[in-house]
Amino acid sequence: MPLNRLYEAAGIGALLATMSACAAAPINKPIPTTRVDNTSPGTLPEARKYLEGRWTLQSFEVRPPGKAPIVLKGSGLLDYDDFGNLKMEIRADQASTDVLRAAGIDIQDGVISTEGRTAIDIPNRTLTYFLEGQPPQGQGPLATSRPRHWEVTADVLTLTTRDDKGAPLSISVWKRNP
């Protein structure tokens, strides 16, 4: 056997002996953590669970800057699933549609429709839309770039958009369907 092959075989043998001499063992170092309480008031799971379901529109008011408030006459449904997806559809009568359109609100065939994933901000009690593949849309009171401030009372959900100074631009009141 040539000397090169002998050294090569000895090197491989030493490597195999070294690898088999050290058995793998789990790392038993404690990782510092804090206890997470998913059931106390104000937690993300609690907020998601509360918002989950189908809601029926009770009232809807839009307050365009510098114009009189618009009280919408119509109906609406809001669906919020356990994955944070929200679908909202509001159907306005013809008179409300005309007034909303004149105020610069994009309303197609008497319908205001929004669908997308939401992020919940617990401290600020807001929902923010993330529309798949699209940047936040619009500039008006119902722009998806505006977070929806939410307030809960029993089975009633109030969603409010606000201007940069904190004044309400839109207020919708929803009742949970049984």
**Rounded Cα gap, residues 167 and 174, in angstroms:** 20
**Is residue 99, in this structure, part of any structural domain at all?**
yes
**Is residue 160, in this structure, part of any structural domain at all?**
yes
**Is residue 124, in this structure, part of any structural domain at all?**
yes
pLDDT digits (tens, 9 = 90+) for 27-76: 666 666 555 444 444 788 888 888 899 999 999 999 987 888 989 999 99
pTM exceeding 0.95 = no
pLDDT digits (tens, 9 = 90+) for 90-102: 999 998 888 888 8
Q: Which domain covers residue 172, as residue numbers? A: 44-176
**Rounded Cα gap, residues 134 and 138, in angstroms:** 12
DSSP, residue by residue, 52-94: -EEEEEEEEEE--TTS--EE--EEEEEEE-TTSEEEEEEEE-H
- φ, ψ of residue 46 in degrees (nearest 5): -65, -45
pLDDT digits (tens, 9 = 90+) for 107-158: 888 998 888 888 899 888 898 887 666 655 666 787 778 889 999 888 999 9
**Is residue 37, in this structure, part of any structural domain at all?**
no
